[in-house]
Structure 1
Amino acid sequence: MAKPTGFIEYERKVPADRPPLERVGDWSELHAGLPEEEQRLQGARCMDCGIPYCHSGLLISGAASGCPINNLIPEWNELIYRGLWKKALQRLLKTNNFPEFTGRVCPAPCEGSCTLGINEPMITIKANECAIIDRAYEQGWIKPQPPTVRTGKQVAVVGAGPAGLACADQLNQAGHTVTVFERRDRPGGLLMYGIPNMKLDKQVVLRRTRQMSDEGISIRTGVEIGKTLPATQLLQDFDAVVLCTGATKPRDLNAPGRENRGIHFAVDFLRANTKSLLDSNLADGQFISAHGKDVIVIGGGDTGTDCVGTAIRHGCKSVVQFEILPRPALERTVANPWPEWPKTLKTDYGQQEAIALFGHDPRAFAIMTKKIVGNADGQVKELHTVEVDWKKDDAGRFIPVEIPGSEKIWPAQLVLIAMGFLGPEEPLLNQLGIEQDGRSNIKTPDGSFATNQAKVFSAGDARRGQSLVVWAIQEGRAAARECDKYLMGYSDLP
């Protein structure tokens, strides 16, 4: 193990974010790194416990417990402590194609299941991971490594998000000739246009996709399969096809007045902002501006938080974030034991910035939108809400019950719907005759990534539903292995 008494001697320390009032004035990344010596001591805290749940990747109570891609966390923690950074990189890349992404945006279920976290602050796994890969780029250790032998097999991957990129990377390593089709003008999927720049600098994404191109992967942007190129053409031109299109149908708000102007899906708000930022540093005005407006974000997840942070950077007048669920507990409850994902109250960067700027937490918990009211011109001007209490119905299911007398009217000139996603868009699936399951996701047999159509596979959110970037990488890797076995009769891919 790293140091037998490390978890006793050293306290948890994570890299400090830039001060909120400083960072809201730009779109640069929030985080800085720790000095090398400090980061090594964080590695020393790893207990190398007998049963390391941190890399188990189990699903417990419907949530991930431990790393879904089974990162060898105790191993590279020890190597960090010993200053063997290059060896730590080698161990990290055995399981994770893109640690520079997960080290920035993953909610770190690994830390939630850390054994030390039973009664002490858990290991800084996410920060350690990011430190390894960032150091590797700084030292020039990450270089293109194209395969030495090609199989002659052609594979099309539809979608350049984390699942598609991971799948393409693995298949390319196996020697297949891979073409990735992406309908947007830049690769990355939600990594590019769903996560704001301050959380994941887009140059980090482009740096990785440039390397993949240098390794022989063809990434064709601006090509929407089913529109720009007929889906059936893929079946003619390629030996296998992997659909990694994501779950891109946003869940809508069903409330009277939804037709008023000034109401947008969060994904449209975030995408337009990032594209304008990259194209012109927002000078072209081709984005949905929150400047000077009372903004209401409906949805309490990460995407909602990203909307809060983006609206603040626009210079909004105020921002409120609605969450229909009750406020989480400050610490684990009896019903949420280790190693389950801790369902505790977390104040993320967007809320921190709102508190610093406006003096209060922007979140309103256990609240439901009842009605949207617009002005005479059809522009949204206010939302009517009611507080709810969660009670069991006759079937034993928890449902929201309105609390009489809790009605409230909120001013709003911009409403952003961040209520999650429902599944993949269907035109492409219909063209290929792909079956969907009861949740509208691409249907595959249990434990398989093969669709009902010969030589067509699927991975990521399109197959499993809206999920984490780390799950997308895991799915992309697993689908690549199954596709490789289909093409060659066997597979050496992990």
Structure 2
Amino acid sequence: MGKITGFMEYDRQAQRERDPSKRTKDWFDYTIPLTVEEVQQQGARCMDCGVPTCHTGMEIDGVTTGCPVYHLIPEWNDLVYKGQWKEALNKEHEMNNFPEFTGFACPAPCEGACVLGINEPPVAIRTVERSIIEKGFDEGWVVPEPPESRTGKKVAVIGSGPAGLAAAAQLNKAGHTVTVFERSDRIGGLLTYGIPEMKLPYDVVQRRVNILEQEGITFVTNTEVGKDYTVEELETNFDSSILCGGATIHRDVEVEGRELKGVHYAMDFLHANTKSLLDSELEDGNFITAKDKNVIVIGGGDTGTDCISTSVRHDCKSLTQFDIYDKKVSERNMDVNPWPQWPVIHRIEYGQKEAAAVFGDDPRAYAVQTTKFVGDENGHVKEVHTINVELTFDEKGARLRKPIPGTEKVWPADLVLLAIGFKGPEQGLLSKLGIKTKANSTVDAEYGKYTTNKEGIFAAGDMRRGQSLIVWAINEGREVARECDRFLMGTTTLP
């Protein structure tokens, strides 16, 4: 695949980024597309591996490596190199309903499993993926493809995140009449309200939703199933239902002062900001502002980074991000983190680059544990108290974080954002439906089958597997559609 000597001739070139000091003045996409020639050079770097591993998704030690939707990566890299863009687009869509979502926001575990990555920078797979689908839209190749006939079966999909949308798209292709219920006012779930506009513009989500609508899918917003639309209506009006409501119960920091004003979950901060931005370009004031505030972000992951980039755009006074882990090494340690595992290395993401451009330094503080929040006379947070910790293990191998005496510190804080992930799905609808859950609160439905204890009701995505990646949600959405189709029709042709 690609050019035989391409990996020796061309350096890795991922999506370029706009100047961090300038892009923080707006909410537009922070990246710059490569030229056609540059993208083709990246396709040429694909090595014609004897056993490619980029396209085979798996979990090693709980961390994803390779592509969970089994993207035909070597094939579309080769097609791009040869200039056969429309054929490359067809190959993308064979395994992924929404390559634009993964192209914009997936962390690209495929690149961690790239064979070239053993001793060279890996192929810029995500950049090629995004370039293909964007060219497809620009050229008018992405068009509605409604089914030729209908089966007469009706399916309800609860939740319009990537799992729900993938399930709906596949079931609609099979000819079923699909209705997607979303309790928010816009379709997309955390694609819309969990990922900031500069990272995944909403018009990217909406243009795909428009395609799905034209293909015959019905979207019902501002409707919470189990509350606005009863369980009885669901059971009466549909032949089958798929639960894709996500894992939206926040993890919390259980320390003194947690109840103080100014301490918020990251998703409340991000959701309100995006809604206000889309509704009024922030003119309505219906969001949690970081303007002129000392901001502390607790959590070192992607959501924490999104909080940083949003706070910078609000023109915050100062910004610090707490990471409970030590600073990682700059290059993969092959002894403890061998290929094809995801490389656990130090990365400077877009938000940290922006904070450094504004404040002069990376905002992260490592191995930091919050001990308490302190408020003022009005009950508003004014300080965060911390201590540094070192990672140890008990006799059973369980992780322990041991406080280091003498490392106590007090940080000024007017706004604290908790970005430490999610515990599992909300239980209201599950309880009303009588759905069995596991000890960790996720739906008890076997991977690959997705059947719950209630006949005709399936579950997929984060609601079933717990907090995970967009690409795993698409994987499960596609697979649950296959099993739902099999239930409805006795057999299935869906992949």
Question: Would you say same fold, with TM above 0.5?
Answer: yes
Q: CA deviation at 1:394?
A: 2.6
Check if 1:240 corresponds to 2:247. Answer: no
Map Cα deviations across residues 300-331 of structure 1 (whole Å, 9 max, x no partner): 10000000000000000011111111111111
Distance 1:475 1:384 in 2: 41
Check if 1:223 corresponds to 2:223. Answer: yes
Contact 1:144–1:215 (CA<8 Å) still a contact in 2? yes
Q: Taking structure 1 as the reference length, what is the TM-score of the superposition? A: 0.99
Match of 1:424 in 2: 425
Question: Unmatched 5+ residue regions in structure 1?
Answer: none
Look up the SS of the partner of 1:371 in the other structure.
strand
Match of 1:387 in 2: 388
Check if 1:479 corresponds to 2:484. Answer: no
State the one-letter code of the partner of 1:417. L
Matches for 1:156-235 after TM superposition, within 5 Å: 156-235=156-235
Q: CA deviation at 1:438?
A: 1.3
Distance 2:447 2:481 in 1: 16
Match of 1:21 in 2: 21
Match of 1:264 in 2: 264
Contact 2:448–2:480 (CA<8 Å) still a contact in 1? no
Contact 2:381–2:413 (CA<8 Å) still a contact in 1? yes
Match of 2:60 in 1: 60
Contact 2:369–2:389 (CA<8 Å) still a contact in 1? yes
Distance 1:309 1:136 in 2: 29
Distance 2:447 2:272 in 1: 37
Contact 1:155–1:238 (CA<8 Å) still a contact in 2? yes
Match of 1:324 in 2: 324
Match of 2:466 in 1: 465
Contact 1:232–1:431 (CA<8 Å) still a contact in 2? no
Look up the SS of the partner of 2:319 in the other structure.
strand
Contact 2:72–2:91 (CA<8 Å) still a contact in 1? yes
Distance 2:393 2:38 in 1: 49
Match of 1:300 in 2: 300
Map Cα deviations across residues 370-404 of structure 1 (whole Å, 9 max, x no partner): 01000011000000000000011132222100000
Question: Unmatched 5+ residue regions in structure 2?
Answer: none
Map Cα deviations across residues 428-480 of structure 1 (whole Å, 9 max, x no partner): 00000011111100111353201011100001000000000000000000000
Map Cα deviations across residues 213-267 of structure 1 (whole Å, 9 max, x no partner): 0100000001101110112321111000000000000101101000110010000
Distance 1:140 1:335 in 2: 47
Distance 1:154 1:60 in 2: 38
Distance 1:30 1:439 in 2: 37
Distance 2:229 2:398 in 1: 45
Larger CA deviation: 74-83 vs 358-367? 358-367
Check if 1:404 corresponds to 2:405. Answer: yes
Look up the SS of the partner of 2:371 in the other structure.
strand
Distance 2:336 2:299 in 1: 24
Look up the SS of the partner of 2:424 in the other structure.
coil
Match of 1:73 in 2: 73
Distance 1:263 1:376 in 2: 16
Match of 1:129 in 2: 129
Check if 1:413 corresponds to 2:388. Answer: no
State the one-letter code of the partner of 1:369. T
Distance 1:365 1:231 in 2: 47
Look up the SS of the partner of 2:372 in the other structure.
strand
Match of 2:354 in 1: 353
Distance 1:396 1:265 in 2: 31
Distance 1:365 1:134 in 2: 38
Distance 2:449 2:15 in 1: 39
Distance 2:481 2:397 in 1: 41
Distance 1:177 1:356 in 2: 50
State the one-letter code of the partner of 1:437. K
State the one-letter code of the partner of 1:408. K
Distance 2:189 2:279 in 1: 17
Contact 1:13–1:42 (CA<8 Å) still a contact in 2? yes
State the one-letter code of the partner of 1:363. R
Distance 2:240 2:132 in 1: 35
Distance 2:287 2:399 in 1: 39
Look up the SS of the partner of 1:415 in the other structure.
strand
Look up the SS of the partner of 2:309 in the other structure.
helix
Contact 2:6–2:46 (CA<8 Å) still a contact in 1? yes
Match of 1:439 in 2: 440
Q: CA deviation at 1:140?
A: 0.3
Contact 1:232–1:432 (CA<8 Å) still a contact in 2? no
Q: CA deviation at 1:2?
A: 1.4
Q: CA deviation at 1:15?
A: 2.3
Distance 1:210 1:392 in 2: 51
Q: Taking structure 2 as the reference length, what is the TM-score of the superposition? A: 0.99
Contact 2:47–2:116 (CA<8 Å) still a contact in 1? yes
Look up the SS of the partner of 2:341 in the other structure.
coil
Match of 2:149 in 1: 149
Map Cα deviations across residues 42-91 of structure 1 (whole Å, 9 max, x no partner): 10000020111100101111111100000000000000000000000000
Distance 2:396 2:468 in 1: 28
Match of 2:87 in 1: 87
State the one-letter code of the partner of 1:249. I
* Alpha-carbon RMSD: 0.7
State the one-letter code of the partner of 1:424. P
Distance 2:22 2:360 in 1: 16
Distance 2:298 2:446 in 1: 35
Distance 2:170 2:447 in 1: 22
Contact 2:385–2:411 (CA<8 Å) still a contact in 1? yes
Distance 2:483 2:397 in 1: 40
Contact 2:448–2:479 (CA<8 Å) still a contact in 1? no
Q: CA deviation at 1:9?
A: 0.8
Larger CA deviation: 290-299 vs 328-337? 328-337
Look up the SS of the partner of 2:31 in the other structure.
coil
State the one-letter code of the partner of 2:163. A
